[in-house]
C-alpha cells in the first residue's frame, strides 16, 4: 500500500491528494476479492428513490453508474489512468493525449482564445483536479466500506 506523507505543510499538495486517491483505490482493490458480488447492488443505499440535488442551481441528475460493480470498475480505470497515463481513449477516437491537446490548442486559436492567462488556467484546472480527486477518494472509501458491510466484514472497517 502507498505511504502518505504526514508532513502538515504538504497536506494540501497535489501529490498528497493524488496519493490519497491512489491509496484509497488500492485499498478498495485489495479489499474487494470478489467484485462480481457488487453486481446489482445500487450505488447509494436505498434511503430515498429521488435523486438528491445538492446545489439548488443545478437540476438533480441520477447517478450514471447503475450498480456498485460499474462504479468499482470506473474507480479502477481512473486509478490506472493516473498511474499509467492516458495513452489512448475510446472517447477521442483513438487519439493520443498529445494529439488531443494539439487539437484543443488549434480549436482555441480558431475561437480567438489566446491562452495568455496560463496561470489562471492552471489554477482553475488545479482546483478542479483537487475537487475531483477528493470526491473520488471518498467514493473509493465508501465503496470499500459498503463491500465490507455487504459481505459481513463490518468489524474489519478502518
pLDDT of residue 56: 46
pLDDT of residue 59: 42
pLDDT of residue 33: 93
pLDDT in tens, 54-113: 444 444 445 454 789 999 999 999 998 888 876 545 455 555 555 556 566 666 666 555
Q: Which cell goes with 88?
A: 489512448
Cα distance between residue 51 and residue 59, in whole Å: 10
Cα distance between residue 64 and residue 69, in whole Å: 12
Cα distance between residue 130 and residue 2, in whole Å: 19
pLDDT of residue 79: 92
pLDDT of residue 115: 59
pLDDT of residue 102: 58
Interval 43-50 mean pLDDT: 57
Cα distance between residue 43 and residue 39, in whole Å: 10
pLDDT of residue 10: 73
Distances (CA, A) of 20 to 30, 32, 82, 94, 136: 15, 18, 12, 30, 10
| pTM for the structure as a whole | 0.63
pLDDT of residue 103: 66
DSSP notation for 83-149: HH--S--GGGTT--HHHHHHHHHHHHHHHT-----HHHHHHHHHHHHHHHHHHHHHHHHHHHHHHHH
Give the residue extent of every domain in the chain: 20-40+65-156
| End-to-end Cα, the chain, rounded Å | 14
pLDDT in tens, 136-156: 999 999 999 999 998 876 554
Amino acid at each position: 500500500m502507498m505511504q502518505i506523507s504526514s508532513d502538515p505543510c504538504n497536506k494540501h499538495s497535489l501529490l498528497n491528494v493524488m496519493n490519497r486517491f491512489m491509496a484509497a483505490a488500492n485499498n478498495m482493490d485489495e479489499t474487494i476479492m470478489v467484485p462480481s458480488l457488487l453486481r446489482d447492488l445500487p450505488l447509494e443505499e436505498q434511503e430515498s428513490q429521488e435523486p438528491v440535488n445538492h446545489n439548488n442551481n443545478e437540476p438533480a441528475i441520477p447517478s450514471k453508474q447503475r450498480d456498485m460493480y460499474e462504479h468499482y470498475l470506473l474507480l479502477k480505470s481512473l486509478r490506472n489512468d493516473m498511474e499509467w497515463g492516458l495513452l489512448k481513449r475510446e472517447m477521442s477516437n483513438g487519439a493520443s493525449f498529445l494529439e488531443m491537446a494539439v487539437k484543443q490548442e488549434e480549436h482555441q486559436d480558431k475561437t480567438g482564445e489566446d491562452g495568455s492567462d496560463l496561470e489562471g488556467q492552471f489554477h482553475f484546472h488545479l482546483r478542479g483536479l483537487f475537487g475531483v480527486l477528493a470526491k473520488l477518494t471518498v467514493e473509493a472509501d465508501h465503496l470499500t466500506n459498503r463491500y465490507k458491510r455487504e459481505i459481513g466484514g463490518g468489524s474489519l472497517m478502518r
